[in-house]
C-alpha cells in the first residue's frame, strides 16, 4: 500500500532535482520541521534520499515521501492552511532555531501530528530523539503509516490508516527538549542562574556520555575475559584477542581524556557557581567515574596477565607434544629445553605464533628442527634476561636486608635506653648512699668529741669530789 504525503511547493522543479535534506532553520521554522517530518535519523534520511524525497521550499511542513514515485498532482497547492501557520508559530515560540536537524524533524513531525491531525508517526521519533536507533524497517513502516492530511484538496488516492492520538508523547518530547535547552526559557528570567544551569546540564551530559562509554568498554572487557580464559590448545583466536585488546586500550585512553575534560569542566564550574552542593556533587561524580575507570584498567591488566600465563602453558604443552620423538640431525644438546619456563612476554608471543604456524603446516621433523633451532638462538637472549632478572631480584633482596638491619638497630636502641636509665638510677642511689655514710661518719666523729668533753667534765667533778671529801 502506498501512501503519500502532500507536497507543498511553489517551485517544484528546482527542488525535485536536488534530493537532499535542507534544514531551513531560521526563517521558517516550519520548513525545517517539514524536512523533519520525513523521518528519524540518518538511516531514515538515506531511505528518504533513495526515495527521492523532495524538500518543500518555504513553509511546507511536510515533505513528500514518494515511495518509488515522483511528485504528482500536488504542484499547485498554495501555502495550505492555518495548521501551517499555527505550527510555524508553535515552532517559533519554542525557538527551535538551534535545534539539531533530528530534533527539528522529530518535533515538527510531532507538531504536525498534533496540529494537522496527522497521527501515525512511529514511536522512535518522539521518545528517542537523542539516540536514533534508526532502523530502516521501522522508518519504512513510518513512511507507510503516514497519513494524508485532512486538507481540502483534491487528492485522488487517500489511504487512511488507523488513527492514534499521540498528544501525550508530543508533550513529553516538548518537555524533554525544553529541558535540554532550558536556558532558553530560563534566560528570560535570570541570566546568571541560567548560566549555572546550562553549565551544569552540560556537565551532566558529558558525565552521562562517559558513563555510557564506560559501560560499553566493560562489556568488551567481559568478552575479552571470556576469550582469554579459554584454555583449549587449538581454539585460541589470537587475532580476535589482539584486536579486542587494542580496541579496549584505545577506549581506555579515550575515557581517560574524557574524564580529564570533565574534570576541567567541573573546575571551571566551580569558579562560576557558588552552590556548594553542586560543586561537591560534580566532584563526587568525577571521582566515581575515575574510580570506575581505574578498576577497569586493573581488570584489564589482570586479564592480560592471565592471557600471558595461558600462552606460556600452551607453549609448554605444545612443546611437550612435538618434542617427544628423538633428537635432531644436528647433534645439539639444546640447553634451551630447560629454559622454557622463563620466556619473555614478547618473545613468547612470537614463539607461540611461529610455533603454531609451523606445527600446523609443516611435517613433524621440520617442525622439530625449526623449534629446536629457534629455541637455541632464543636461548642467549633468554639467559641474558634471566641474569638481569636475577640481578634485579638480588638488589631488591639487598634492599630488604638493609631495611631489616635498620629496623633491628632501631629496636635495640630502645634496649640501650633502658640500660642507660638503669645505670643512671644506680649511680644516683650510690651517690645518695655515699652521702648518708659521710653524714654518719661525721656524726660519729662529732659525737666522740662531745663525749670526750662530757666525760672530761664528769671526771673532773668526780676527782674534785674525791679530793675534797678525803
Interface segment toward other proteins; rule CB under 8 A; list 61-69, 131-139, 307-315, 400-408: 400-408
Which one of residues 226, 365, 433, 463 is an interface residue with other proteins (CB under 8 A)?
433
Max CA distance (Å), the chain? 185
Q: Cα–chain-centroid distance for residue 317?
A: 38
Decide if residue 423 touches other proteins (CB under 8 A): yes
- What cell does 410 get? 632501631
Per-residue string for binding with other proteins, 356-385, x by CB under 8 A? Answer: -----------------x--xx-xx--xx-
Which one of residues 158, 306, 409, 463 is an interface residue with other proteins (CB under 8 A)?
409
Decide if residue 338 touches other proteins (CB under 8 A): no
Closer to other proteins by Cβ: residue 71 or 323: 323
Decide if residue 347 touches other proteins (CB under 8 A): no
Which one of residues 50, 185, 436, 457 is an interface residue with other proteins (CB under 8 A)?
436
- What cell does 341 get? 619456563
For residue 379, give the nearest of 354, 350, 347 by alpha carbon: 347
Distance in angstroms (rounded) separating the CA atoms of residues 402 and 185 = 70
Interface segment toward other proteins; rule CB under 8 A; list 44-52, 112-120, 199-207, 389-397: 389-397
- Name the minimum Å distance from CB 215 to other proteins: 48
Distance in angstroms (rounded) separating the CA atoms of residues 396 and 392 = 6
Continuous segment of H or E residues that includes residue 47: helix 41-50
How is 410-469 classified by DSSP, letter by letter? HHHHHHHHHHHHHHHHHHHHHHHHHHHHHHHHHHHHHHHHHHHHHHHHHHHHHHHHHHHH
Distance in angstroms (rounded) separating the CA atoms of residues 87 and 109 = 10
For residue 108, give the nearest of 208, 291, 116 by alpha carbon: 116
Decide if residue 415 touches other proteins (CB under 8 A): yes
Distance in angstroms (rounded) separating the CA atoms of residues 398 and 385 = 20
Per-residue string for binding with other proteins, 443-462, x by CB under 8 A? Answer: xx--xx--x-----------
Which one of residues 335, 365, 366, 455 is an interface residue with other proteins (CB under 8 A)?
335
Decide if residue 161 touches other proteins (CB under 8 A): no
Decide if residue 254 touches other proteins (CB under 8 A): no
Footprint of other proteins (CB under 8 A) = 330-333, 335, 373, 376-377, 379-380, 383-384, 387-388, 390-391, 394-395, 397-398, 401-402, 404-405, 408-409, 411-412, 415-416, 418-419, 422-423, 425-430, 432-434, 436-437, 439-440, 443-444, 447-448, 451
Amino acid at each position: 500500500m502506498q501512501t503519500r504525503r502532500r507536497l507543498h511547493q511553489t517551485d517544484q522543479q528546482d527542488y525535485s532535482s536536488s534530493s537532499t535534506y535542507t534544514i531551513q532553520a531560521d526563517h521558517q521554522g516550519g520548513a525545517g520541521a517539514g524536512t523533519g517530518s520525513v523521518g528519524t535519523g540518518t538511516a531514515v534520511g538515506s531511505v528518504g534520499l533513495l526515495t527521492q524525497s523532495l524538500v518543500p521550499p518555504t513553509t511546507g511542513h511536510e515533505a513528500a515521501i514518494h515511495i518509488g514515485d515522483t511528485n504528482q498532482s500536488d504542484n499547485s497547492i498554495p501555502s495550505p492552511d492555518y495548521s501551517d501557520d499555527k505550527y510555524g508559530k508553535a515552532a517559533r515560540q519554542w525557538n527551535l532555531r538551534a535545534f539539531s536537524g533530528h530534533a527539528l524533524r522529530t518535533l515538527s513531525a510531532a507538531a504536525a501530528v498534533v496540529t494537522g491531525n496527522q497521527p501515525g508517526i512511529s514511536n522512535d521519533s518522539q521518545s528517542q530523539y537523542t539516540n536514533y536507533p534508526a532502523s530502516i524497517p521501522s522508518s519504512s513502516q513510518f513512511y507507510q503509516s503516514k497519513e494524508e492530511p485532512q486538507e481540502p484538496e483534491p487528492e485522488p488516492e487517500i489511504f487512511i490508516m488507523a488513527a492514534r492520538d499521540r498528544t501525550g508523547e508530543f508533550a513529553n518530547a516538548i518537555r524533554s527538549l525544553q529541558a535540554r535547552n532550558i536556558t532558553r526559557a530560563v534566560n528570560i528570567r535570570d541570566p546568571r542562574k541560567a548560566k549555572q544551569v546550562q553549565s551544569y546540564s552540560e556537565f551532566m551530559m558529558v558525565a552521562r556520555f562517559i558513563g555510557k562509554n564506560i559501560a560499553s568498554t566493560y562489556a568488551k572487557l567481559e568478552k575479552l575475559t571470556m576469550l582469554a580464559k579459554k584454555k583449549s590448545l587449538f581454539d585460541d583466536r589470537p587475532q580476535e584477542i589482539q584486536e579486542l585488546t587494542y580496541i579496549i586500550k584505545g577506549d581506555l585512553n579515550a575515557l581517560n581524556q574524557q574524564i580529564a575534560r570533565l574534570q576541567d569542566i567541573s573546575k571551571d564550574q566551580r569558579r562560576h557557581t557558588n552552590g556548594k552542593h553542586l560543586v561537591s556533587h560534580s566532584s563526587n561524580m568525577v571521582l566515581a567515574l575515575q574510580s570506575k575507570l581505574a578498576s577497569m584498567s586493573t581488570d584489564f591488566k589482570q586479564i592480560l596477565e592471565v592471557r600471558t600465563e595461558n600462552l606460556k602453558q600452551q607453549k609448554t604443552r605444545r612443546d611437550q607434544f612435538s618434542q617427544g620423538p628423538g633428537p635432531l640431525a644436528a647433534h645439539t644438546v639444546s640447553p634451551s629445553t630447560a629454559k622454557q619456563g622463563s620466556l619473555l612476554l614478547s618473545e613468547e608471543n612470537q614463539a607461540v605464533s611461529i610455533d603454531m604456524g609451523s606445527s600446523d603446516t609443516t611435517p613433524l621433523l621440520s617442525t622439530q628442527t625449526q623449534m629446536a633451532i629457534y629455541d637455541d638462538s632464543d636461548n642467549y637472549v633468554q639467559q641474558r634476561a634471566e641474569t638481569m632478572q636475577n640481578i634485579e631480584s638480588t638488589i631488591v633482596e639487598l634492599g630488604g636486608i638493609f631495611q631489616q638491619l635498620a629496623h633491628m638497630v632501631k629496636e635495640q636502641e630502645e634496649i640501650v635506653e633502658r640500660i642507660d636509665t638503669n645505670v643512671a638510677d644506680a649511680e644516683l642511689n650510690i651517690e645518695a648512699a655515699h652521702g648518708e655514710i659521710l653524714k654518719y661518719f661525721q656524726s660519729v666523729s662529732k659525737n666522740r668529741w662531745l663525749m670526750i668533753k662530757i666525760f672530761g667534765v664528769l671526771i673532773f667533778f668526780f676527782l674534785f669530789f674525791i679530793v675534797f671529801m678525803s
